[in-house]
Amino acid sequence: MQITADRESLADATNPLGLDGIEFIEFVTAKPQALGQVLEMMGFRPVARHRSREVLLYRQGEMNVIINAHSGGLPRSVQPSDTPVISAIALRVRDAATAYRHALDRGAWAVPTNVEVMELNIPAVHGVGASRIYFVDRYKDFSIYDVDFTLIPTVDPKPPALTGMHWFGVVQYIGNDRMEDWTEFYAELFGFKTLPDDKRYGILPKGRVLQSPCGSFYLQLIEPEPGIVEVEGEESLQRIGFGTPDVLASVAALRQRGVGFVESQGVHSETRGALTQSYLGGAMFELVHHAR
């Protein structure tokens, strides 16, 4: 029997948006070159610049990182400061318009768009703090960067990933008593699932881990240390996690490039994971043992 989409809806109920990984992660900073140097140490290469704004695209393997030094002037957007801030996660979805509508229908806040002539209008909703969550559906045959960016000449537009590094996920700091709230937020709007407490990755097993409905990346929610009564305005996307099939090989390769790692009694590099030093007043990266 032939089953076709025009006869019955076959959308996967556990992945209502057709989520398919992370398209890019964006940082906002007033010092894009300084962050660029840190990203290059981490194995990224600058591959393209935005046509109209002070925005750069860095890449390694499947991972795209955007450095945004453009002050958009929108309310509730992150204003560039010297310390880099993770300002957006772009999710790959089956259909961006449908995903956007799905999120708005369930109570997401739309981010007003501010596009220039001939630029793509990428829909976004507000995430934690002043961050945004974008929906991108052009990532197979052609990409969003083909439209809004120009390639930097003589640079390999597809630099390979260092030691097989890939997106693992993002760590989000949350306020006191906010675990259930944020778990519900990601479940309701995007279909994330809570992992059982005994399923943990990396060397920083605090908080709660949420798995994307496509199963390809994770969000880790971390509450303040017990006893800290009030952390007003401290909810944010704190760091990126990279998956790697061999943590110690990645640590060695990154060390050679000048990356320092936290080596203390509590946290140190091991086969499960590692944590880089903090750069530029707050940018740090985590390595997690995770094979593709």
Residue 188 sits in the site that holds other proteins (CB under 8 A): yes
Enumerate residues 6+ apart whose C-beta is below 8 A from 180: none
Q: Give the x/- contact pattern for other proteins in 56-95, rule: CB under 8 A.
A: ----------------------------------------
CA distance 106 to 89: 19
Q: Which amino acid is at 236?
A: S
Taking a C-beta distance cutoff of 8 angstroms, is the pair 211, 256 a contact? Answer: no
CA distance 167 to 23: 10
Closer to other proteins by Cβ: residue 80 or 175: 175
Tokens of 241: 């996690």
Closer to other proteins by Cβ: residue 124 or 274: 124
Distance of CA 5 to the CA centre of its chain: 32
Closer to other proteins by Cβ: residue 106 or 257: 106
Residue 102 sits in the site that holds other proteins (CB under 8 A): no
Residue 263 sits in the site that holds other proteins (CB under 8 A): no
Residue 185 sits in the site that holds other proteins (CB under 8 A): yes
For residue 17, how many other CB atoms are within 10 A of its CB? 26
Residue 112 sits in the site that holds other proteins (CB under 8 A): no
For other proteins, which stretch binds (CB under 8 A), given 135-143, 177-185, 244-252, 271-279? 177-185
For other proteins, which stretch binds (CB under 8 A), given 18-26, 103-111, 113-121, 142-150? 103-111
Q: Give the x/- contact pattern for other proteins in 121-160, rule: CB under 8 A.
A: -----xxx--------------------------------
Q: How far is the CB of 16 from other proteins (least distance, A)?
A: 15
| Residue 183: strand, helix, or coil | helix
| Sign, Cα dihedral of 79, 85, 90, 91 | negative
Length of the chain: 292
CA distance 130 to 236: 8
Which residues form the interface with other proteins (CB under 8 A)? 105-109, 126-128, 175, 178, 180-185, 188-189, 235
